[in-house]
Structure 1
Amino acid sequence: MASRSFRPDCSSPSRPSRSQPPRSATDYRHANEPVGSVEQIYGGQLVPDLAVSTFRNIDRLFPSRVIAAGGGPRPLPPISQNLEGWVATVNGEPYDLYDYLALINVTGLLVLHRGNVLYETYQRGNAPDTRWMSMSVAKSVCSTLAGMAIRDGLIPEGLGARVVDYVPLLRGSAYDGVSLRDLLMMASGVAWNETYTDPESDRRSLLRAQVAQAPGGAMAVMAALPRAAEPGRVHNYSTGETQILAELVHAAVNRPLADYLSEKLWQPYGMESDATWWLESAGGIEVGGSGIGATLRDYARFGQFMLEGGKVDGEPLLPDGWMAEATRPTTLADGETVDYGFMWWTAWTPPSRKDRAYAARGIHGQLVYINPAHDIVIAQNAAAPKPKGRIVIDPMVFFDALVAHLDRQPGAASSG
């Protein structure tokens, strides 16, 4: 197992145009590797090596826009800590770190404690410069951009903004009467089937629209959906609604989401590397629910930004109260509580619930886990064999075991 701390290259190479790939094919060392198709990704039909090479070359699957980094990365200094004894018990069986990395096909795992690198490893030929598929971690990025747009006064109605006022292609559809808050909670009341491996599901219909690369194709899929409940009353996980959110935020900020993300966060917070983001069509709007390709360290920095309250150099980028609402279980109109915030998953294990932890989570094992009570951020890249249902060890259970292990070493995990 290759496991060591890496120090970022603090040089300032010239940055590419946002309309071009972040590195030339000869510079990005993974660029000539074989890639599968997006249908194989969502169908769970990639052999392990092809899955790995595909997930680190996703900008070759669709037109993509660059999220430009700045010149000086935020340091992630290493600290020394004994992690022997980090073991999770699942169904009476102990699993240590080596089990976890192998069984989930983890390709990168980075643990930050108080902003310092407690543990960092890369597998399957990945390294700090490897860009990796976000899967639905992009949803949490997209929702955070919505919060920034509200803070900037670009969505003056705030969470009460009506979706169709910003996305006119949905006027007259089941999205009439749906608010931005409903959308962020995925409680629009519009029918949706998210089954990734079912070619007839709504999720695969949306994917076919993306493959077709026709402007407006995704909104045509969403506009045709029927109503199943009143807005705000039923939570139903829908990748399509993140594409609506991308359209809404794009209309509000009047610029590409990749550029807005670069200007608001990627550069001022000190992300180390350029990232890429899929487009619905060539030159069009970013895919709100997936398609960011970024380095493990920059995913961890995004988690650290959230841990620090959504601030850059002490200046808040998000509205007052946003962090508390976005990262806590939401309450539907009938009083039901759902373990989901504003496109963030709230903790689903008792120890993490106690710590008010939350996570950005994507299929095939992608995670950014944030535990405010213990000042811990964990970023994980993986190539699990199926979109869902093949992860032997629940990552949050394993992360809880890490917190418990650190708690046994006085002063190591508490935020003080």
Structure 2
Amino acid sequence: MSSRASAPLADARHSSRSSVAYRHADEPIGSVEQIYSGRLVPDLAVSTFRNIDRLFPSRIVTAGERPRPLTQALESLDGVLATVNGESYDLYDYLALNQVTGLVVLHRGRIVHETYQRGNDRVTRWMSMSVAKSICSTLAGMAIQDGSIREGLAARVVDYVPALAGSAYDGVSLRDLLMMASGVAWNETYTDPASDRRRLLEAQVAQQPGGVMKVMASLPRAAMPGTVHNYSTGETQILAELVHRAIGRPLADYLSDKLWQPFGMEHDATWWLESPDGIEIGGSGISATLRDYARFGQFMLEGGKIDGEPLLPEGWVAEATRPTMLAGGESPGTEPLEYGYMWWTAWTDPSRQDQAYAAKGIHGQAIYVNPAREIVIAQNAAAPKPLGKLAIDPMAFFDAIVAHLDRHR
């Protein structure tokens, strides 16, 4: 357990790494309910998405003093063109039609392209939404590597989260949880006020310690553990509780000490809390700069190592980012989307051939990693609805970027 004090709660008035005021801090913002229901006008969506630490109490993920340099590559994206459903789209089409507010492309750790829109810049923090799930999953791998989760993937959820004892989570393993294959019933529909996802959000809004676990403990069983994949943000909160109890400290502190500082993230991030000074929200609520999201993708591309030292168990990156097998031999996810340990495996043929993978968040957030081509793409966006309103499939355009760089190397 760390001896240093828990990370402080976020103060949105100041930018990270200095006392200079965060220039977006006084912008008007909407509500979290408006985010999930898709009821924000475009300008308000942008100002809300870059100020989410004002929606809930948040804890700071502290950056270090020596940022990892990101130098400029010789390549560019001039002339990149994607053909999707018979229509051609260039970079400018993609940025406009998909409401992209920031795009960084790294090739072999160097910046090929970097753009910011809608008033964002290099110091703008932006919401990750479900990208946070992939980060939380990675923290679980680190806790296994540390020996904090001694049983590894076989660890029983209820042994670490006693609030779930006697619930449908009895008999569920950490591996089941990471695959979202617990067998516990769940409705993830963001825009349905009666869904389990919205019940979870209501518990978060209430800011009562233990409120989220009460929601999760009330759910019925729908299948045997490990047999059926059902996407559930609630299960990422269980993962956050499990990792928190295993390491005995806040996840923001752990993320800072294990990755944010030693890998050289440039700016502090913030992370929503379930209640004031409580546990971090495992499924969303991380707000960071675009370059630091790209650096996280680069960490994964480099095999989860820092200066040759593994932070993750041997083989973890490959196992976590490829389709995993359910009991009975099926992989999680509905074709063509497949799931690893809270990472999405590629759903287009070119990226599948390269064993690429992605962290995804609603409203268009993404970190794409293509290990075969040594390419990382980080994207922020402000799509008008949580799902289904991106005009161009991001991975199809990322494929076009990969092909373009391959031709011009």
Pairwise same-fold verdict (TM > 0.5): yes
Question: Is residue 95 from structure 1 mapped to residue 96 from structure 2 by the alignment?
Answer: no
Which residue is equivalent to 1:385?
A: 384
Choose the corresponding residue for 2:319, options 325, 328, 348. 325
Which residue is equivalent to 1:119?
A: 113
Question: Is residue 42 from structure 1 mapped to residue 36 from structure 2 by the alignment?
Answer: yes
- Provide the C-alpha distance between the structure 1 equivalents of 2:134 and 2:90, rounded to a whole number of angstroms: 29
CA shift in 2, pair 1:20/1:47, >3 Å: closer
Which residue is equivalent to 2:345?
A: 346
1:217-366 correspondence runs (5 A) = 217-338=211-332, 339-366=338-365
Q: In structure 2, the residue corresponding to 1:109 is in which secondary structure?
A: strand
Choose the corresponding residue for 2:186, options 171, 185, 192. 192
Q: In structure 2, the residue corresponding to 1:229 is in which secondary structure?
A: coil
Q: In structure 1, the residue corresponding to 2:244 is in which secondary structure?
A: helix
- Provide the C-alpha distance between the structure 1 equivalents of 2:167 and 2:73, rounded to a whole number of angstroms: 54
Q: Where does structure 1 lack aligned partners over 5 or more consecutive residues?
A: 1-15
Which residue is equivalent to 1:57?
A: 51
- Provide the C-alpha distance between the structure 2 equivalents of 1:321 and 1:101, rounded to a whole number of angstroms: 35
The answer to whether the 8 A contact 2:76-2:113 is kept is: no
- 1:60-83, Cα deviation, whole Å (9 max, x unpaired): 000000000000100000113242
Choose the corresponding residue for 1:107, options 101, 109, 116. 101
Which residue is equivalent to 1:160?
A: 154
Which residue is equivalent to 1:13?
A: none
> Which stretches of structure 1, 4 residues or longer, exceed 3 Å deviation after superposition?
none
The answer to whether the 8 A contact 1:22-1:275 is kept is: no
For 2:298, the aligned partner's letter is: Q
Which residue is equivalent to 1:212?
A: 206
- 1:293-329, Cα deviation, whole Å (9 max, x unpaired): 0000000000000000000111000011211110110
Choose the corresponding residue for 1:151, options 127, 139, 145. 145
1:132-147 correspondence runs (5 A) = 132-147=126-141
- Provide the C-alpha distance between the structure 2 equivalents of 1:373 and 1:321, rounded to a whole number of angstroms: 16
Which residue is equivalent to 1:21?
A: 11
Which residue is equivalent to 2:335?
A: none
The answer to whether the 8 A contact 2:106-2:113 is kept is: yes
Give the C-alpha shift of residue 84 in structure 1: 2.4
The answer to whether the 8 A contact 1:22-1:276 is kept is: no
Query: What's the C-alpha RMSD, in Å, of the aligned pairs?
Result: 1.2
- Provide the C-alpha distance between the structure 2 equivalents of 1:319 and 1:197, rounded to a whole number of angstroms: 38
Q: In structure 1, the residue corresponding to 2:319 is in which secondary structure?
A: helix
Matched residues, percent identical?
Answer: 77
- Provide the C-alpha distance between the structure 2 equivalents of 1:279 and 1:142, rounded to a whole number of angstroms: 14
Which residue is equivalent to 1:374?
A: 373
Per the normalisation by structure 2, the TM-score is: 0.95
Q: In structure 1, the residue corresponding to 2:339 is in which secondary structure?
A: coil
CA shift in 2, pair 1:84/1:74, >3 Å: same
Which residue is equivalent to 2:197?
A: 203
Question: Is residue 30 from structure 1 mapped to residue 20 from structure 2 by the alignment?
Answer: no
Give the C-alpha shift of residue 404 in structure 1: 1.3
* Aligned residue-pair number: 395
Q: In structure 1, the residue corresponding to 2:288 is in which secondary structure?
A: strand
- Provide the C-alpha distance between the structure 2 equivalents of 1:47 and 1:33, rounded to a whole number of angstroms: 14
Q: In structure 2, the residue corresponding to 1:364 is in which secondary structure?
A: coil
1:58-77 correspondence runs (5 A) = 58-77=52-71
Which residue is equivalent to 1:4?
A: none
Between 398-407 and 113-122, the greater mean CA deviation after superposition: 398-407
Q: Where does structure 2 lack aligned partners over 5 or more consecutive residues?
A: 1-5, 333-337
